[in-house]
Amino acid sequence: MNSNIPLIETEQLTKSYGAKSAVEAVSFQVHSGEIFGFLGPNGAGKTTTIKMIVGLLKPTTGAARVGGYDVQAQPIQAKSITGYVPDEPNLYAKLTGRELLRFVGNLYRMDRKQVDRRSEELLRLFDLLQAADDTIDSYSHGMQQKTSLAAALMHDPKVLVLDEPTVGLDPRSSRLIKDILKQMAERGSAVFLSTHILEIAERMCDRIGIINQGRLIAVGSMDDLRRMSQGVTSLEDIFLNLTGGAEYSEIAEVLS
Amino acid sequence: MRQTAEEAVRVSVSHSVWTLVRLRWMIFLIGFRRASRVRKLVVIFIFLISLGGIGVIILISRYLLTFLKNPLLAEGVGNLDAVLNSIPNVLITGAFIGILVTSFGVLLQALYLAGDMDFLLSRPVPIRAVFITKLLQAVLPSFILICAIALPIMFGLGLAQGYSLLFYPLVLLELVVLSLAAAGFSSLLVMAVVRVIPARRVAEIIGFTGATLSFLCSQSGQLARLDNLSPGDLSQVLVIFQRFDSPLSPLYWAGLGLVGVGNGDWLNGIGLVAITVFAAGGIFGVSLVTAEKLYYSGWASMQVRVQKAKQVRREKSGISVPRIALIERLISPAAWAVTIKDWTVIRRDIRNMSQLITPLIFGIIYAVMFLRGGRQVPVGRGEAPAWFMDLMGGFVVYANIGLSLFVGWMLLGRLAGMAFSQEGKNYWLLKTSPIKPVELVTAKYLVSFLPVLALGWGFLVAIMLIQRESLGLLLYSMVVVAFSICGNAGINLAFGIAGARLDWEDPRQMQRGSMSCLGALVSMVYLVSSLILFFAAPFLAEILGLPEAFGQTIGLLVGCPFCLACAVIPLWLVRQRVEFLGEAKV
């Protein structure tokens, strides 16, 4: 894999359902060692974009490339270096946590010893060792979310894509995830995460992309975004300025 | 404008019940109004047909029960007056037990597993009102169904026996109060059970037990020898009715009371009816009072309790896949991992077990019938010529194969037909992993083919050992079964891919109905065709007096390629669909 090429790249990525465009001509790049935050209001097209990047959804036009591999043309190569954590941790309820991690390891064609070692490491890291032999249907939402993240990390991916990874997690687990993401970036992986928690995006992300009504309306570092918003300093204000949140003051008036 | 806390407290239970019941009614009405015209017409048609059906049952009951009083019949089976007087008791007992049993599962869903409980219990609605509404909601469908059967028979009995007019409203009253009592009693059982076993587990067990028992009951009639019924047997069956007449049972008092009212024995009749109405009301009242404590605490504890974890015995290999050298050479470790994962998930989910056990029960029942017949061709009326009977006798040898393939066909409908659908919302995990579509199809194929082959062969070997067939015939049969299952698995899997649904909440919605039916139909046609191809040559060889082995070899040469083609071609036709499976709608 060429080290100069971006690990995630979308080129005029578009997804339409009939006449309606869920995502329209979205282009950006995420490089090795970078944490990229993807923000947008509900229904803006974040999850659709993510699903096209990980190969869950076929773009109507445009392309998504992971590690230089076209996700549609070379899906096996692209998927083998990607780890994905969905917004809803739908996991096989009748498998145990340990079985799920081993299954995922086998899917990624990992060596048996490596699978055993790695699954034990991740179970310990996410504090799941005690529940490792319980079926997943007995896990709380937070435990399922952690299992989902552990599954995404099993094969030590070069690209990690996370859709709202901290939803339902306690502060300790949330902190753990943030630390893991930072470490992965330091080790040269590319991390792409969507979140509604602007504090996470502001503190953790090297660059931020804001999507609204299917269009990428801003991309850049915090400084770049501040410059674009002409002096507005907080990400919340920048976000509301760009996506149109001024009308919320009227709602507050009605409620009062 | 804003409701105060004091005002909220004053809201009565009846008002809350009315509000909640009205909500259900509104949901039904809105659903009906928004339904397509065809759907509306179907609903109206079903309603009218049901009304007509009730009328027909009343008439049939009337004439049938009048017939039981016929002196000629009495000569054969004895006096049936006592039997007629037992009918109200039998029906009331049946209705009570029916509602008790059926409402257990419905109440479990309504009280503990319904998605609206968080919403309802976080509002200022009395818990008793929530409980009553749930109870009514749960009992209503069973009550309507039971009334649709029991009421017309009771009314038919009233007409046949010339009962007084008061009999009819009292029948309805008894059914209503006893249904409420049964539901109340059932709710207490649910609350007690859920305190010990997690609600979801109970639901799974009920699903499994219900499906298995209903299939067993439906098929057990096959073992009965109904063709040899004598008048003595009939009178014995009718006498069973009187066994319900237990003087200690309040349900018997209810039946006796109704008969008393019908015959104009007012004092006894009304007295017994009143006792049972009060007893039923008492049970319902107790269940309401108990519910306030048991239900809320049980539901609340369910929210905070980490479900009693089901520890799975830690196996050394776990799902890290048993290594089978031959298989590893043929398929990728990823595909084999998916196969092992599927078997583990299917085995552990008890809801699947009922679907898998059904073919086994079916196979055992029909094998028993087949063996009981001593491999003889049914003589019928003896009109068939001798040469035809000889020919059929030779053909019966292959009935074992047909039987084991039929059992396999039923199992394949579940295993192959739903191989992709059973992934449900977990499919993202496979779709985002580096596994090729062909590997996935191979894995899913093996998930169904291997167990069905093992079952088919096991079944075949068992029957043929009992029948002491030759080794040659056994080997031939095993090859036929293997190839036939091979093709059938391909067809079922292809239809499973074409009709796959991954967004289901209820496992019964796993596959699109039309594809499921079409798949069953096509695979049945395939099964018959493959058997014709395998057996035509041995059959002809028998007619022409050629060696049996020659005919069987020709049969294999014709049948095996056909089966292989049927395994591959349908899957090749749907290969591109696999890539698009799980394309989530946004």
User: pLDDT tens digits, residue range B178-221?
Assistant: 888 888 888 888 888 887 777 777 877 777 777 677 766 766 66
Which residues on adjacent β-strands are paired with residue A38? A194, A209
Q: Is the pLDDT of residue B371 over 70?
A: no
Question: pLDDT tens digits, residue range B18-69?
Answer: 888 888 888 888 888 888 888 889 888 988 988 888 888 888 888 887 777 7
pLDDT band at residue A248, thresholds of 50, 70 and 90? low
- H or E element that contains A21: strand A20-30
Cβ separation of A109 and B344 shorter than 8 Å? no
- Residue in chain B nearest A132 by alpha carbon: B311
Question: pLDDT tens digits, residue range B428-486?
Answer: 999 999 999 999 999 999 999 999 999 888 888 888 888 787 888 888 889 999 999 99
Cβ separation of B434 and A116 shorter than 8 Å? no
Size of chain B, expressed as the number of residues it contains = 586
Indicate the residue of B308, B311, B426 with minimum beta-carbon distance to A90: B426
Q: Give A-chain residues touching B585 at CB under 8 angstroms.
A: 17
- % of chain A at pLDDT higher than 70: 93
pLDDT band at residue A2, thresholds of 50, 70 and 90? low
Cβ separation of A106 and B583 shorter than 8 Å? no
- Residue in chain B nearest A76 by alpha carbon: B434
Residue A26 neighbours by CB under 8 Å, 6+ apart: A10, A12, A13, A14, A45, A49, A62, A211, A214, A215, A216
Whole-number pLDDT of residue B184: 84
Q: Give B-chain residues touching A106 at CB under 8 angstroms.
A: 319-321, 333-334, 336-337
Range scoring the smallest mean pLDDT among A171-185, B404-418, B428-442, B523-537 = B404-418
What is the distance between the alpha carbons of residues B127 and B13, in angstroms, rounded to a whole number? 9
Whether residue B471 lies within 8 A of chain A, CB to CB, comes out as no
What is the distance between the alpha carbons of residues B501 and B512, in angstroms, rounded to a whole number? 7
Contact between A126 and A149 under an 8 Å Cβ cutoff? The reply is yes
Whether residue B344 lies within 8 A of chain A, CB to CB, comes out as yes
Residue B31 neighbours by CB under 8 Å, 6+ apart: none
Indicate the residue of B311, B430, B583 with minimum beta-carbon distance to A134: B311
Q: What is the Cα A104 distance to its own chain's centre?
A: 18
| Rounded (5°) CA angle B576-B580-B585 | 155
What is the distance between the alpha carbons of residues B401 and B407, in angstroms, rounded to a whole number? 10
Whole-number pLDDT of residue B494: 94
Provide φ and ψ at A176, rounded to 5°.
-60, -45
The type of residue at B296 is Y
Higher pLDDT, B314 or A60: A60
Edge-first strand order for the sheet with A35-39 is A82-85, A159-163, A190-194, A35-39, A207-212, A215-220
Q: Is the pLDDT of residue B82 over 60?
A: yes
Cβ separation of A134 and B428 shorter than 8 Å? no
pLDDT band at residue B306, thresholds of 50, 70 and 90? very low
Indicate the residue of B321, B432, B584 with minimum beta-carbon distance to A82: B432
Provide φ and ψ at A64, rounded to 5°.
-120, 135
Indicate the residue of B344, B425, B431 with minimum beta-carbon distance to A99: B344
Whole-number pLDDT of residue B495: 92
Reduced to 3 states (helix: H, G, I; strand: E, B; else coil), residue B252 is helix
Question: pLDDT tens digits, residue range B496-518?
Answer: 998 888 888 766 667 666 777 88
Range scoring the smallest mean pLDDT among A229-238, B171-180, B478-487 = A229-238
Whole-number pLDDT of residue B63: 80
Q: What is the b/e burial string over B307-338, where b = at least 16 CB atoms within 10 angstroms of the residue's CB?
A: bebeebeeeeebbbbeeeeebeeebbbbbbbb
Question: pLDDT tens digits, residue range A122-161?
Answer: 999 999 999 999 989 889 888 999 999 999 999 999 999 9
Cβ separation of B432 and A55 shorter than 8 Å? yes
Whole-number pLDDT of residue A51: 93
Reduced to 3 states (helix: H, G, I; strand: E, B; else coil), residue A76 is helix
Cβ separation of A75 and B434 shorter than 8 Å? yes
Higher pLDDT, A225 or B326: A225
Whole-number pLDDT of residue B316: 45
Whole-number pLDDT of residue B551: 87
- State the pairing for strand pair A35-39/A207-212: parallel
Cβ separation of A135 and B334 shorter than 8 Å? no
Tokens of B531: 């058997």
Contact between A82 and A54 under an 8 Å Cβ cutoff? The reply is yes
Contact between A166 and A198 under an 8 Å Cβ cutoff? The reply is no
Question: pLDDT tens digits, residue range A35-87?
Answer: 999 998 888 899 999 999 999 889 999 999 999 999 999 999 999 999 999 98
In angstroms, the separation between the Cα of residue B419 and the nearest Cα of chain A is: 14
Average pLDDT score over chain A: 87
Whole-number pLDDT of residue B303: 55
The neighbour count for residue A18, using CB atoms within 10 Å, is: 5
Whole-number pLDDT of residue B9: 55
Provide φ and ψ at B565, rounded to 5°.
-60, -40
- Residue in chain A nearest B201 by alpha carbon: A137
What is the distance between the alpha carbons of residues B406 and B369, in angstroms, rounded to a whole number? 15
Question: pLDDT tens digits, residue range A78-88?
Answer: 999 999 999 88
Instruction: Tell me the DSSP string of B340-388.
Output: HHHHHHHHH-HHHHHHHHHHHHHHHHHHHHHHHTTTPPP-TTS-S-HHH
pLDDT band at residue B556, thresholds of 50, 70 and 90? very high
* Most confidently predicted of A3-7, B161-165, B235-239: B161-165
Cβ separation of A76 and B436 shorter than 8 Å? yes
Cβ separation of A134 and B332 shorter than 8 Å? no
Question: pLDDT tens digits, residue range B382-421?
Answer: 556 666 666 666 666 677 787 778 888 888 888 888 889 8
What is the distance between the alpha carbons of residues B395 and B382, in angstroms, rounded to a whole number? 18
Q: Give B-chain residues touching A133 at CB under 8 angstroms.
A: 311-314
In angstroms, the separation between the Cα of residue A28 and the nearest Cα of chain B is: 21
Whole-number pLDDT of residue B375: 56
The type of residue at B423 is E
Provide φ and ψ at A215, rounded to 5°.
-115, 140
Instruction: Tell me the DSSP string of A194-228.
Output: E-S-HHHHHHH-SEEEEEETTEEEEEE-HHHHHHH
Average pLDDT score over chain B: 79
ipTM of the complex: 0.85
Whole-number pLDDT of residue B586: 40
Indicate the residue of B310, B428, B434 with minimum beta-carbon distance to A80: B434
Instruction: Tell me the DSSP string of B182-239.
Output: HHHHHHHHHHHHHHHS-HHHHHHHHHHHHHHHHHHHHHHGGGS-GGG--HHHHHHHHH
Indicate the residue of A79, A88, A95 with minimum beta-carbon distance to B345: A95
The neighbour count for residue A15, using CB atoms within 10 Å, is: 23
What is the distance between the alpha carbons of residues B442 and B239, in angstroms, rounded to a whole number? 58
Secondary structure letter of residue B2 according to DSSP: P
Task: Give the best residue of B319, B425, B427 to mutate against chain A (max A CB count within 10 A).
Answer: B319
